[in-house]
C-alpha cells in the first residue's frame, strides 16, 4: 500500500503564504514533514531540494543565491528564485519546467514519467566558452554559474563530497603508505563548501590534517559542524598542534586562518614536508574564487570589482607561486596531487611551466572505481527527520552485508557527520548496487518505514556523466579526455529513463571552458511509477560509466561490461 500523502489529504497553503513562510529572500527553508505543498511529490521533491540548497545551513551566501564554490548559484536572481518556486507549486504531472542558467523560461507538455524539471546552466558555444565572455554575460544578468550540484539543486552540504574525499585519501594511503595514514601529515588549502570536507575525510582515514583558508568564517562553519577539531590564526600554534598529533598518530584536524601559499612557504622554511599535499581553494575561478597573496580578503573583494583584469593577473601569479612551492615539496618526498580545481592550468598561465608535473586525483586514485560504475550516490530525507536516514543506513547494511567498506563508512558517518539542512547521506555505490538501493528506498516509503519520500541523486563528478580533461577524464587511455558526447548521452539516457529532474552544466569544478557534465535526481515515493523509473535510471546512469571506460580501453571496465550484460 502506498502511504505517501496526496494533495487531497492536506490543506495547501496559497502561493503567497508558502513564499512568506518558506522563501522570503534571503531566508529559504525546505518544509519538512509529510504535508504536500505542490500538486505532486515529484514537484515537491524539486521544491524542497531547491530550498534546501539555499537554506543558511547549506548555502555559502543565501543573499546572493550562492550555494558553494565562490559563485555557484541555485538561481540567477531573487525574482527568478521566486518564480521557480511559484511554478513548482502549481506544476502538473504532465508538465515540465525548463530552467536556463537559473531562470525559469517555460513549461512544456510531457508525461508523468518524464522529468518534472530540465535544467541547463552556463553552457556556451565552445569558441565563446571563456571566462571573459561568461563574465560579460553575467554582469548583464544573462547567465549564472551553476557549479555542479548548486544549479542542479542536489547539493547536500559539505557531506556531499565527503566520501569521495575519503576514498581519495584512503587510495593515496594504500598506494604510498601501505594503507596506513597514522603518523602522516596531510596539508591542503581551501575549507569552503567543497574543501571543507577535507579535514573530516582525512581524520576518518587516520591522518593528521592541517587546512588553510583566508576566510575565518569558512573555518568557523567547519568547526560548528564538527568537520574540523581546532581553529587558530597562529601559525606556530597550528604547527605545534599538528606535529604533536602526527608524532602520537592522532587523527587531529586543524583549521588555520591564512593564505595557503604563505603557509606552505613557512612550512618549507621550517623543513616540515607534508606526507600528502593537495588543494581545494576556488582556483577554478581566478577572478571571483581564488584569493591572491599579499592582500586581505576585503582588499581582494574590492580589487575584483575595481580592477578585475589586474586582479586576475595577480591571482594567476599567486597560483604560480603556490604551485611552485607544492612542486618543491613534491621534490622532497611529499605525495602531491591536484584535487580538480584547475589550479595547475592557471598556475601555468601565471608562469609555473612545470605545474602539470603534479598528477590529478582521478587518474592517480579514482579511475578504477569509475570502471566499476562506482560513484557518489546520495540521498535526502524529505521528511526532515534524521531517523529516516538512520533507517536507510541500516537497511543498506542488511542489503549489502558483504560490502564491509560501505558498512564501515556508514558506521563512521552515523557517528561523525553533522547534517546541514535536510538530513542526507552519501555512499559510493556501483553498477547493480544503485538500482537495488533505489528500489529498497522505494519499498521503505511504500511500507511507511520512513515518514516521507526519499530523493536520490549524485554529484556530477561521477563515473559516466562528465568530460573534464583536467579532472575526471584526465589522461584517458585512448586520448578522449575532451570528448563530451558521454555526458550528453548520460543526460539523454536519464531523461529517457524518467529521472525526476535532470541538468546539463558547463564549467563546474574547474571553470568556464574546461568541463561539461550532467546531473540526475530521482524520487522514491513508494509508487509503482517510481519503481519503473528507478529501475531504468539507476541502471542507465552507472552503465554510462562502464560504457565510457570500456570504450576507452580499460580492461576492468570491459570485464564489468561483460559481467553486467552491457556489451552490444
Binding-site residue numbers for NAD(+) are 69-70, 147, 193-195, 213, 218, 280-284, 290-291, 339, 509
Helix (H, G, I), strand (E, B) or coil at 56: coil
Residue by residue, DSSP assigns 370-436 as: HTTT-EEEEEEETT--HHHHHHHHHHHHHH-TT-HHHHHHHHHHHHHPPP-SS-EEEEEE-TTHHHH
Pairing of strands 501-506, 516-524: antiparallel
Q: Which backbone phi and psi does 366 adopt, to 5 degrees?
A: -105, -25
The dihedral of CA 247, 248, 249, 251: what is its sign? negative
Burial class (CB in 10 A: 0-12, 13-18, 19+), 123: middle
Contact present, 461 and 148 (Cβ < 8 Å): yes
Binding-site residues, please? 69-70, 147, 193-195, 213, 218, 280-284, 290-291, 339, 509
Q: Peptide bond before 56: cis, by omega within 30 degrees of 0?
A: no
DSSP assigned state of 74: S
Residues recognised as catalytic: 427
Confirm if 461 and 164 have CB atoms less than 8 A apart: yes
- List of E strands, 266-327: 276-277
- Compute the distance between CA of residue 527 and CA of residue 534 in angstroms, rounded to an integer: 11
CA–CA gap between residue 478 and residue 549 (Å, rounded):
10
Lookup result for grid cell 576514498 = 167
Q: Using CA atoms, how far apart are residues 155 and 422, in angstroms rounded to an integer? A: 11
Paired with 276 in beta bridges are: 186, 335
Q: Are 150 and 536 in contact (CB under 8 A)?
A: no
DSSP state of 301: H
C-alpha of 409 from chain center: 18
CA 355, CA 506: separation in Å to the nearest integer? Answer: 24
Half-sphere exposure of 155 (CA within 13 A, CB side): 31
Pairing of strands 23-24, 66-68: unpaired
At 536, list the grid cell: 531504468
With beta carbons less than 8 A apart as the criterion, state whether 549 and 370 touch.
yes
CA 386 to chain centre: 21
Q: How far is CA 61 from CA 103, 282, 297, in A?
A: 18, 15, 16
Phi, psi of 197 (to 5 degrees): -75, -20
Q: What is the DSSP string of 444-491?
A: HHHTTSSSS-EEEEE-SSSSSSEE-TTTTTTT-TTS-TT--HHHHHHH
Amino acid at each position: 500500500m502506498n502511504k505517501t500523502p496526496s494533495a487531497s489529504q492536506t490543506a495547501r497553503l496559497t502561493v503567497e503564504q508558502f513564499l512568506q513562510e518558506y522563501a522570503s529572500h534571503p531566508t529559504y527553508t525546505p518544509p519538512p514533514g509529510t504535508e504536500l505543498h505542490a500538486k505532486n511529490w515529484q514537484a515537491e521533491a524539486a521544491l524542497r531540494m531547491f530550498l534546501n540548497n539555499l537554506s543558511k545551513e547549506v548555502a555559502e551566501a543565501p543573499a546572493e543565491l550562492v550555494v558553494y564554490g565562490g559563485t555557484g548559484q541555485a538561481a540567477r536572481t531573487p525574482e527568478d528564485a521566486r518564480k521557480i518556486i511559484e511554478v513548482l507549486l502549481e506544476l502538473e504531472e504532465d508538465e515540465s519546467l525548463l530552467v536556463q542558467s537559473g531562470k525559469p523560461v517555460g513549461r512544456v507538455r510531457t508525461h508523468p514519467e518524464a522529468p518534472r524539471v530540465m535544467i541547463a546552466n552556463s553552457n556556451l558555444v565552445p569558441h565563446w566558452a571563456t571566462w571573459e565572455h561568461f563574465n560579460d554575460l553575467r554582469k548583464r544578468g544573462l547567465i549564472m554559474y551553476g557549479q555542479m550540484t548548486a544549479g542542479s539543486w542536489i547539493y547536500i552540504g559539505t557531506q556531499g563530497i565527503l566520501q569521495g574525499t575519503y576514498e581519495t585519501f584512503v587510495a593515496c594511503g594504500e598506494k604510498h603508505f601501505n594503507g596506513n595514514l597514522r603518523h602522516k601529515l596531510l596539508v591542503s588549502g581551501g575549507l569552503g563548501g567543497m574543501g571543507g570536507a577535507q579535514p573530516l575525510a582525512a581524520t576518518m582515514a587516520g591522518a593528521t590534517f592541517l587546512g588553510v583558508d583566508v576566510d575565518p568564517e569558512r573555518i568557523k562553519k567547519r568547526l560548528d559542524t564538527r568537520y574540523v577539531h581546532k581553529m587558530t590564526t597562529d601559525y606556530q600554534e597550528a604547527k605545534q598542534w599538528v606535529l604533536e598529533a602526527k608524532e602520537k598518530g592522532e587523527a587531529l584536524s586543524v583549521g588555520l586562518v591564512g593564505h595557503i601559499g604563505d603557509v606552505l612557504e613557512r612550512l618549507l622554511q621550517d623543513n616540515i614536508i607534508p606526507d600528502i599535499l593537495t588543494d581545494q581553494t576556488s582556483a577554478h575561478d581566478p577572478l571571483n574564487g581564488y584569493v591572491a597573496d599579499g592582500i586581505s580578503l576585503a582588499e581582494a573583494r574590492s580589487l575584483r570589482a575595481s580592477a578585475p583584469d589586474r586582479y586576475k593577473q595577480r591571482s594567476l601569479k599567486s597560483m604560480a607561486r603556490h604551485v611552485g612551492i607544492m612542486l618543491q615539496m613534491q621534490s622532497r618526498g611529499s605525495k602531491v596531487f591536484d584535487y580538480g580545481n584547475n589550479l595547475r592550468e592557471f598556475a601555468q598561465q601565471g608562469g609555473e611551466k612545470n605545474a602539470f608535473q603534479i598528477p590529478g586525483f582521478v587518474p592517480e586514485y579514482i579511475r578504477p572505481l569509475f570502471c566499476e560504475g562506482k560513484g557518489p550516490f546520495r540521498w535526502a530525507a524529505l521528511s526532515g527527520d534524521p531517523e529516516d536516514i538512520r533507517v536507510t543506513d541500516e537497511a543498506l547494511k542488511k542489503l549489502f552485508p558483504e560490502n564491509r567498506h560501505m558498512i564501515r563508512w556508514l558506521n563512521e558517518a552515523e557517528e561523525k557527520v553533522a547534517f546541514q539542512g535536510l538530513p542526507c547521506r552519501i555512499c559510493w555505490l556501483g553498477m547493480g548496487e544503485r538500482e537495488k538501493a533505489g528500489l529498497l528506498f522505494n519499498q521503505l516509503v511504500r511500507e511507511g518505514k520512513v515518514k516521507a519520500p526519499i530523493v536520490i541523486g549524485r554529484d556530477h563528478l561521477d563515473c559516466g556523466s562528465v568530460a573534464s580533461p583536467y579532472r575526471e577524464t584526465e589522461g584517458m587511455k585512448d586520448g578522449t579526455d575532451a570528448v563530451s558526447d558521454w555526458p550528453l548521452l548520460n543526460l539523454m539516457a536519464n531523461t529517457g529513463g524518467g529521472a525526476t529532474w535532470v541538468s546539463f552544466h558547463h564549467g563546474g569544478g574547474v571553470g568556464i571552458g574546461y568541463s561539461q557534465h550532467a546531473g540526475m535526481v530521482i524520487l522514491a515515493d513508494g509508487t509503482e511509477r517510481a519503481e519503473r523509473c528507478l529501475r531504468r535510471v539507476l541502471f542507465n546512469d552507472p552503465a554510462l560509466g562502464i560504457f565510457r571506460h570500456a570504450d576507452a580501453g580499460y580492461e576492468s571496465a570491459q570485464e564489468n561490461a561483460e559481467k553486467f550484460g552491457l556489451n552490444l
